[in-house]
Amino acid sequence: MYIRTGDTVRVISGADKGKQNRVISVNRESGKALVEGVARVYKHVRRSQKHPQGGRLSKEAAVNLSNLQYVCTACGKATRLGARFTANGSKERFCKKCGAAAGEIAPAKKAHATAGTK
């Protein structure tokens, strides 16, 4: 589950299949994410001071993470993400198609560092 807030993702199944946009938030417990402009639903609101007219508000619904695929910034393709250790011992996400780094997951640890050890 390497998708994070701010990543660009493509929807791979469902009514919005093929749409590509940015992740607003990720809920790790339920395994779902909110994606801009994807899975729009109507919420009916009654008249109040905040919504004087009332009516229907359109908002994003949560999409299962299994229905999303990360879009690599380097190669521009929808791909899976992997995890690897860098030379200084930090853990990073990477594109499985082109091998480009996609951001750090964990800080550096001496136990995983390979630079200068021989």
Question: Domains (ranges, CATH) in the chain?
Answer: 1-71 (2.30.30.30), 72-118 (no CATH)
Model pLDDT for residues 8-46, shown as the tens digit of each residue? 999 999 999 999 999 999 999 999 999 999 999 999 999
DSSP codes, 8-19 = EEEE-SSTTTT-
Give the C-alpha distances (Å, rounded to integers) separating 18 from 13, 15, 38, 51. 8, 9, 10, 34
Percent of the chain with pLDDT over 70: 96
- pLDDT in the model for residue 112: 86
- pLDDT in the model for residue 111: 86
